[in-house]
Structures are given as C-alpha cells and as structure tokens.
Chain A
Amino acid sequence: MAGANDIATQKAQDFVAGLTGSGTTGLSALAEAGRAALADLPVPTRKSERWKYSPITAMLASPVKVAPAPQAWPEDVPINPVPGLDAYRVVLVNGHVVPEACDLPVADGVVCMAMSQAVAAGLIGAGDEDWTGYHSREWIGAVNAAHAQDGLYLSLESGTSLDRPVVVHHHVTGQDVASCPRHRILLGANSQAEVVLWTSAAEGTSGMVNGVLEGRVGPGARLGVDKVQHEHGVLFHLAHEHVTQDKDSTFRIHTVTVKGHWVRNELNVLQQGSGAHTIMHGAYLPKGNEHVDNHTTMDHTVPHCTSSELYKGILYGTSTGVFNGKVFVREDAQLTNAYQQNANIVADAGASINAKPELEIYADDVKCSHGCTVGQFDEEALFYLKSRGIGDRAARALMVQAFIGDVLEGFGSEEVATEVEELLAARHSWM
C-alpha cells in the first residue's frame, strides 16, 4: 500500500505532467533546469514544517495549464487598478505581458521593460537567471522556473530615480489557468523606485499563480513596494519575493491581501551591507473559507542594520491564516535593531490563525523585540461604543479600522492606500 507521501508525489507528478504550455520569457536554460529539478525535489506536504498549515493538496487536485497569450487587455477590467494614480505600467494577463497596454518610462539610466524583452536584449546572462537558486531548492520554485513567464524588468543606474511609480498589474482570468510571472528589480547605488504589484482575478477564475520577484537594492538606494492581492474566483496564489540589500539601502514593502481564495506570500529579505533598513508591513482579512499565509524571513548578516516588521490579521467566517516570521541575527550582525509584531483578531468562532514568530539570534549586542497576539474583539470596548449610540456594525468597523490602521500607514502612494481602504471597506461593509 502506498504511503501518504507517495500519493502526494503521484498527485504532484500528475499536476506537473498536465501543466503544459510554456512561457514566452525565453529563459530556456532556467526552464530546463526547473524541469530537471522537479524530478528530485520533494513535494511540499504537511510533514514539512514550512507547509504544515498551508497544504497544497487542493491545488494539486485540479490540473492547470499555461494559457496562450491574450490578444488584448480585457475590456471590462481597468488597466490601472488604482484610480487617480499617475504611474508607469507593465500589465500582464495570465502571465503574458500585453505590450499595447503598457506605459514604460524612458529616461537616461532607466531600463524598464517586459522581462521577455530584457532576455531578448541579453540583459540576463547565462547563470544569472535565478539569483538565489530558488528553482533548485523548492518544488514550487522549480514549477515556476519550468514554466517561467513574463513580468517586470526594472534596472536603474546609480543616482537615478523614477519620477512616478511603476504599476505591475497582473490580471488572471479563465479556468484552470497557470500563471508563472517573473519580475526583477535592480537598483544601482543611490537610486530610487516605487513599484505597485497588483494582482487581480476575474469572477469565476480558477487555477494557480506562481510568481517570483527578485530584487537587489544597491548601496544607498531605496525601493518601495505596494503589493496588493484582490482576487475573485478560486485561485491558488504562491508568491515568492527575495530582496537583497546593500549598504545604507532601504527596502519597504506593504503586503495586503484584500481578497484571495488561497494565498501564500513568501518574503525573504537579506541585508548584506551595514546601515540597511527594512520595513515590512502586512495585512490580511480573509472571509468565508479563504486562506492567507505570510511567511517572512528577515536575515541580518552585517552590523548596524535595522528592520521593522508589522503584520496584522482579522479572520472571519471559517477562514484560516498563517503568519510565520523568521528573524535571523547572524554572528557578525552586532548592533542590529530588529522589531517584529504580529497581531490577530479571530472574529468568528470558525476562523483560525497559526502564528509563529521565530527568532534566531547569534550576535550578543543587539536589540530585538517581538510580540505576537491572538484575540477576539474587545467586547467591553464594543459595548462602550454602543452605549454612545453607535450601532453594532459601525462599532465593529471603528474597531477594525483602529486595529488595522497602523499597518495601512506608510504606503508608497496615497492613492494606493485609499484604494485599498475603499476595497476593504466595501468588502467588509465598513461605513
């Protein structure tokens, strides 16, 4: 009789075998390496601690295919997901860039284009396709590599800065669709960029998004990312971001899951130059039977760096959440100042959160603080609000906004912050 693992492996093999269709990126060596790695890498199962609370069994049960390139941007979907935001655009449908709908910056020292164009232009050399070896380390990474599609390629020379943010809008539509976008951001010394990574999915969509973003923030450079997931349908979204920071650089990312059937965000930040500063904010408010997982790794390897991490979640209905925040302070990383906070409200009896802060500190002269809370709405505070005439729903809305408010501060663009708040307000009937 086959063991559970064999069944999982068989399902995974079937899933991979059915996953036909290839990307248009032209990263053929990476694709080949990905296919080869798939044969050897273990399939994530509940037995692995990293996947214990986010099994991919349900995803593997439905075969998906990479969709052919679309003819055009769908008419009924706004190209710019953020009303009023003056921004450059790289837009994708099901992992394919739609060139006519893009609006790219043209300036000295700025290279901003589709990943496929960057590959065609020889900007990604042999052996440079995967900075962290993700495809050879993780089964999910190998799946992405084997079917790597298009995405953003942004490279800024030293001292340049983008005058407007770049919105990367990935829209997913159709059934049993696989999308494997790949993005790369490379900021030269003292350069600056703001990027909005927005994923939307149409009603009735099903399938998998398996995306990779690689970032390198050069000395003194500043990168800000507003990452928003607003996905209808039944989509399994696996996002993997890896950002490496040099001396005196700043990296900020806000990750907000407005809506998503099953989401796993893996965010890894490596500080390899002293004086680097990292800000990671995240918010998740799943409803129904949705699942949102945020796995973060903050790796301090050199002295005099700081990090500030704040994730908050409110879980409704029978939704499930995961927060796993790992902070490494390596032996050489003296005078690190690392802060991590994760707070959760389990709003309904059927909802649950698995929250796990993990700190590994090997240096002795550091300041690390962390906190993790799981609770319910404060009934006494609710009664206090109601005793002043504020209705139950409005009182809860006030409490939710108060709870989540500080996570939503500090977006790169006011317009993104406003749109996110409005989407959340509409979804949760605040006000």
Chain B
Amino acid sequence: MLTINNLHARVEDTPILKGLNLQIGPGEVHAIMGPNGSGKSTLASVLAGREDYEVTAGSVDFDGTDLLELDASDRAREGLFLAFQYPVEIPGVSNLNFMKAAVNAKREHQGLEPIAAKDFLAMVKEKSALVELDGRLRDRSVNEGFSGGEKKRNEIFQMAMLEPKLAVLDETDSGLDIDALRIVSEGVNAMRNAGRSFLVITHYQRLLDHIVPDFVHVLSDGQIVKSGPKELALELEAKGYDWIKEPVA
C-alpha cells in the first residue's frame, strides 16, 4: 500500500525527516509514536502534500503511484486521507457543499458521474451517524463553532465519506475527552477492512487501547528507531522514550 524509502524532508533550512523508511501493507494499522519534535506531524504533512515542506531525498510509493509527484488534491483523489491535528474552520463554506465537492472530485477522477443529491444525503446520514454527528452538519460552515471533539469527529466523518485506501490520523486523540475518544475510535474501527490501511500518529498509548495497531514504530530525530508489535506502545508508556537512542540497524 505505502512504501516510504529513505525519506528526507525539511522546512526552510531545517531538516526534519532524515532517512525515514516505512512499509504499510493493505489492511494494516501502523502506529507512529515519538517525542515532540521527532517529525511525526511533518511525516503526515509530507504525505498529504503540504507545500511548506520540501522533500530533499527519498521516495514514497502509494499503491503503485509516485506520491511525491502529485499535488495535494490528486493525492486525495488517489485515496490518501489526512485527518488533521488542527482541523480548519472555513466560515461561509457549508459542510455539505464542501463534502459534495470532495466526493464529486473523487468520482470525476474515477470517471463517474456526480453523485445524485438523494444518494449524497443518504450517505451523509449514514456516515455522520457513525461519529454521532447526525443532523449537526447541515446549515453549518466547515468546522465553524465546532468544539474540539466535534472537529475531530468531523474529520472521521469526512474520512468515512471519502473511503480512502490509506488514512493518516495526525494526533487525532489530542484534545479529546474520554467520550469523544471512544466515538472517534469506534468510527475508525468501523472502517477497518482488508483493503484499507491506517497510519496512526500519536503521543499517547491510550488511543491505541481503542484503535489496536498491528505495528508500532518509534520516530526519533527524523528516523524510525524502533519497530515492534502493539506491546511496544505499553513499554513506551511505562519507560518513556529515553531508553531508545539509536536507529535500528
């Protein structure tokens, strides 16, 4: 699904990713943990195509496509989804118009007709129920006036609407209370299937109690320094990051 090979990226003159390697197979859930400043959010941004980041070396193969050659909207149309750490408020753009434009952009990319209004509304109803946002999106602007929890649930709603091949969740658990964490996690779990992969970026092990990963990686100073099964997250929670110093050989 995703093969990252020797990825280097920088913001302005500051190198942040320094030779990152990662392979994610279809249907797998990978968690990336690591201390502040290790490059977790940079990885998410580079994958999604944020222009402030410059890739200086390496490659990213996304299901047979050279991801780095595509702009952000084409990456999304190819099936990549980024759940933002800080979802953006866009006053005046309605949630539903926004999602309709997004759904139709993807359909056009796939050579399909725009979605019928009735089908779209049925889809909204079904997917918003998944994250308990039913009836709360209509007549409201994108994320405007949403609580922190509602914004994160809206991210998962959008993911459900767009049915990506690979979803990158960038600290989706930050700022969530226990209930919102449960709702968001259940939304993600409901979408897990054999063809869809997830990259879950988080500081804390508690999210991984809800979204149980197949693999856990530790990112430090722009490289994956340790990988292991889900139990690695518990070990990190207990010991912190300091005991991991050097990259894996």
Binding partners A and B: yes
Contact B90–A381 (Cβ < 8 Å): yes
A402 to B142: give the CA distance in the assembly, Å. Answer: 11
The stretch of B2-10, B97-105, B210-218 that contacts the partner chain: B97-105
A383 to B52: give the CA distance in the assembly, Å. Answer: 11
Number of A-B contacts (CB under 8 A): 79
Contact A386–B92 (Cβ < 8 Å): no
Chain A interface residues toward B at CB < 8 A:
378, 380-381, 383-392, 394-395, 398-399, 401-403, 405-406
Contact B102–A402 (Cβ < 8 Å): no
11 additional contacts, CB 8 Å, given A386-B71, A390-B105, A398-B101?
A381-B89, A383-B88, A388-B98, A388-B99, A389-B102, A398-B98, A401-B93, A402-B91, A402-B92, A402-B141, A406-B92
Contact A385–B92 (Cβ < 8 Å): no
Count B-side interface residues using an 8 Å CB cutoff. 32
Chain B interface residues toward A at CB < 8 A:
48-51, 71-73, 75-77, 81-82, 84, 87-93, 97-99, 101-102, 105-106, 109, 141-142, 158, 162
Contact B92–A388 (Cβ < 8 Å): no
Contact B98–A385 (Cβ < 8 Å): yes
A380 to B91: give the CA distance in the assembly, Å. Answer: 13
Chain A to chain B: the 10 pairs with minimum beta-carbon distance, closest first: A402-B92, A389-B76, A388-B102, A384-B88, A386-B72, A389-B105, A402-B93, A386-B73, A389-B77, A381-B90
A380 to B72: give the CA distance in the assembly, Å. Answer: 12
A-B contact pairs, 6 of them (CB 8 A): A384-B87, A388-B102, A389-B76, A390-B102, A398-B101, A399-B93
Chain A binding surface SS class: helix
- Quick one: given A384-B90, A398-B93, are A389 and B106 in contact (CB under 8 Å)? yes
Q: How far is the CB of B5 from chain A (nearest CB, A)?
A: 23
Q: How far is the CB of A329 from chain B (nearest CB, A)?
A: 29
* Beta-carbon nearest neighbor of B82 in chain A: A387
Instruction: Please indicate the chain A residues that have their CB under 8 angstroms from the CB of B92 in the complex.
Output: 401-403, 405-406
Contact B50–A383 (Cβ < 8 Å): yes
Q: How far is the CB of B184 from chain A (nearest CB, A)?
A: 18
- Quick one: given A392-B73, A394-B101, are A387 and B91 in contact (CB under 8 Å)? no
Q: How far is the CB of B58 from chain A (nearest CB, A)?
A: 21
Instruction: Please indicate the chain A residues that have their CB under 8 angstroms from the CB of B49 in the complex.
Output: 386-387
Best-surrounded residue of A380, A391, A406 (most CB of chain B within 10 A): A391
